[in-house]
Structure 1
Amino acid sequence: MTFEISPGASGLDVACHLNVLLPDASPGDLPQALAAVAAAGYKRVVLPPVDPASVDAAGLRRLFADAGVAPITIAGGQSAGADVSSADAGERAAGAAILRSVLDLTVALGGDQMNGVPYGAFGPPGGPTDRAAVERAAHEVGAIADHAHERGVTMTFEVLNRYETSLVNTAAQAMEFIELSGSPHLWIHLDTFHMAIEEPDMVAAIRLALPRLGYLELGQSGRGKLSTGAVDIPAVVRSALDAGYEGRWGVEAFSRSVLSQSAADMLAIWRAPYNDGIHLAADAMRVIERGWAASTVGRRAKRLARAASG
């Protein structure tokens, strides 16, 4: 008897970014989107950045609960005047306040994880980030991470490519950032899209970050389907599992046909690599399952399944 691999067979804890399917978290189309990703085997959905003050947290929480998936929020919003890396104490305090407001929203939604870019402004950097700014950002973010832990929320920070920040671009820099933060509760978010640009060896980067890796996001070179592109996603999944990674996973893809124009412009998404987000989410889960099936833990599970079936 053969062992059939189906979405969810691995039991991996995988989240799908909502922008794969929808431009925002408006309640009109959200129930159908949440139901679709739940049916594909996802356990969580990552919300795009939202203004906590304008969100109906109770209503949104009910929608997630009804679909049987958990929310992950994105914290960031750092800019001139509100930036935890700033030399100005008032600006740092304003930046930290933004992060705390997203933490409050996460708790109100019933979530237990907050991703994002909390350490500085998102966008083309004007130059290298000086050491003092990195240290200031790490201190502020570490304090928020400790507070989040007290409230039952895990905080991660995403490592971006050089075109989106100059503060943290590699797994090695992320590990140093955590050390500077002084927080035992701050975790790293790696993304294969960014790693493909910055890391000479993606698997080595995952291994380096493994002690503090809390979220491993899978994204393709062209921002489209995980089954097509320059990144060998099944190999990444297999290698991470074989290295001992037991954390959560994410799927991210962006298309100009799905995103709002402002979000597409901000992310430099000029094309439409896909039009059907539900199809992409299902395809991504199948790709992840293939990587799991090739891993040591996956092969062991298949042997046990065959033995149990006689």
Structure 2
Amino acid sequence: MGCHGSVWTGSFDEAGLRTAFRGTAEAGFDLVELPVFDPQSWPVELTRRLAAEYDLATTASLGLTDDVDISSEDPATVRRGEDHLRAVLQVLHEVGASHLVGVIYGPMKKHQRPATEREVRNGQEAMRRLATYAAALGIRLGVEIVNRYESNIFNTAAQGRVYVEEVGADNLGVHLDTYHMNIEESGMFAPVLETARCLEYVHVGESHRGYLGTGTVDFGSFFRALQLVGYRGPVVFESFSSAVVDPDLTATLGIWRNLWRDGADLGAHASTFIRSSLRAVETLDLHRPPRPGTDPAREDTTP
């Protein structure tokens, strides 16, 4: 169970990283997710030391910009994007991180048109090469399913599953986020079942990105679905407030309201909420129903 570093700080220099690691550990999380947007300047040795000092696992997330868009129709831009993501993966390898997730398949922004077939294909081909590179470093990848205002490539779990299956890399899976699911999906249960065999990573966030349980996300159904499919991957709390987040990220994500100012209180509440939710569904006797026309005694129910 983890927490995004932006709950604690808007900068990831030495002081910011120390704040993020300390806050994550003190709130009772086991993992800190880091926004490695600039791999060339990332403090690798400090990150490694802090992970050991606070006994925290690490992952990373990011969103691509137009100049490093691996789904671009311009071959030079695709190459820059692949080089950028390889540099990020090298940093993650050096700090011992397990995952790179997020909008790593195209630019994270509001688009004015649907993605073309060529853009989708270019991104998948690049992702296939990047997955091979990541596998050699022992890193897993997750493509985050985000809402229509942040990507035009896919917006639902079903679309993301198809994208991942077409890439066909063993270390590439779907990254679900309850904030985005609450916008695009018809419910919080079915998308987990839809992606059960390729679900790699989970973000837990409220509908307004504030305190969990104060918005409209149906967390009960979501956590029941995770338990039903036997999901055992990272479950990471993500929340943003313009009082804390970097101004550039605030603008990209449209964080125009301060739903919270005290990251320590928010993080402690989220840690208790998520851990309690996961523990509660563990007590349920949930069994996936067999598919029609199959023998229940022989049905493979593993996710």
Quick check: TM above 0.5?
Answer: yes
Match of 2:188 among 191, 195, 202: 202
Q: Is 1:56 paired with 2:43?
A: yes
Q: Is 1:230 paired with 2:216?
A: yes
Match of 2:83 in 1: 97
For 1:124, give the aligned amino acid.
K
Match of 1:218 among 186, 190, 204: 204
Give the Å deviation of 1:299.
Answer: 5.2
For 1:50, give the aligned amino acid.
F
Name the SS for the 1:42 alignment partner: coil
Can you give the 5+ residue segments of structure 2 that lack an aligned partner in the other structure?
286-303
Q: Is 1:187 paired with 2:173?
A: yes
Match of 1:79 in 2: 66
Give the Å deviation of 1:178.
Answer: 1.0
Match of 1:260 in 2: 246
Give the Å deviation of 1:20.
Answer: 0.9
CA distance in structure 1 between the aligned counterparts of 2:245 and 2:79, rounded to whole angstroms: 32
Name the SS for the 2:196 alignment partner: helix
Match of 1:286 among 255, 269, 272: 272
Q: Is 1:35 paired with 2:46?
A: no
Summarize deviations over 1:225-270 as a string: whole Å, max 9, x none: 1121111324422331123222111100000111122221111000
Give the Å deviation of 1:41.
Answer: 2.3
CA distance in structure 1 between the aligned counterparts of 2:171 and 2:25, rounded to whole angstroms: 29
Match of 1:298 in 2: 283
CA contact (8 A) 2:140 2:172 kept: yes
CA contact (8 A) 1:75 1:117 kept: yes
Relative to structure 1, the CA distance from residue 160 to residue 106 in structure 2 (aligned partners, 3 Å threshold; closer, same or farther) is: same
Match of 2:13 in 1: 26
Larger RCO: Structure 1 or Structure 2 (Cα < 8 Å, ≥ 6 residues apart)? 1
- The percent identity for this pair of structures is 33
CA contact (8 A) 1:75 1:102 kept: no
Summarize deviations over 1:54-91 as a string: whole Å, max 9, x none: 122112211121111122122443414x3211222222
Give the Å deviation of 1:132.
Answer: 2.1
Match of 2:293 in 1: none
Summarize deviations over 1:120-148 as a string: whole Å, max 9, x none: 11100111112221121111112211211
Summarize deviations over 1:142-178 as a string: whole Å, max 9, x none: 2211211121111111111001111011111111111
CA distance in structure 1 between the aligned counterparts of 2:252 and 2:134, rounded to whole angstroms: 28
Q: Is 1:137 paired with 2:123?
A: yes
CA distance in structure 1 between the aligned counterparts of 2:123 and 2:89, rounded to whole angstroms: 17
Name the SS for the 1:210 alignment partner: coil
CA contact (8 A) 2:188 2:219 kept: no
Summarize deviations over 1:19-57 as a string: whole Å, max 9, x none: 011102121143243223223321111112331111221
Relative to structure 1, the CA distance from residue 88 to residue 285 in structure 2 (aligned partners, 3 Å threshold; closer, same or farther) is: same
Name the SS for the 1:202 alignment partner: coil
Can you give the 5+ residue segments of structure 1 that lack an aligned partner in the other structure?
1-13, 301-310
TM-score, normalising length from structure 2? 0.89
Name the SS for the 1:63 alignment partner: helix
For 1:285, give the aligned amino acid.
S
Cα RMSD over matched residues?
Answer: 1.6
Match of 2:143 among 149, 157, 161: 157
Summarize deviations over 1:72-121 as a string: whole Å, max 9, x none: 122443414x3211222222111111110100110111212111211111
Match of 2:261 in 1: 275
Name the SS for the 2:141 alignment partner: strand
Residues 110-121 of structure 1 mapped to structure 2, 5 A cutoff? 110-121=96-107
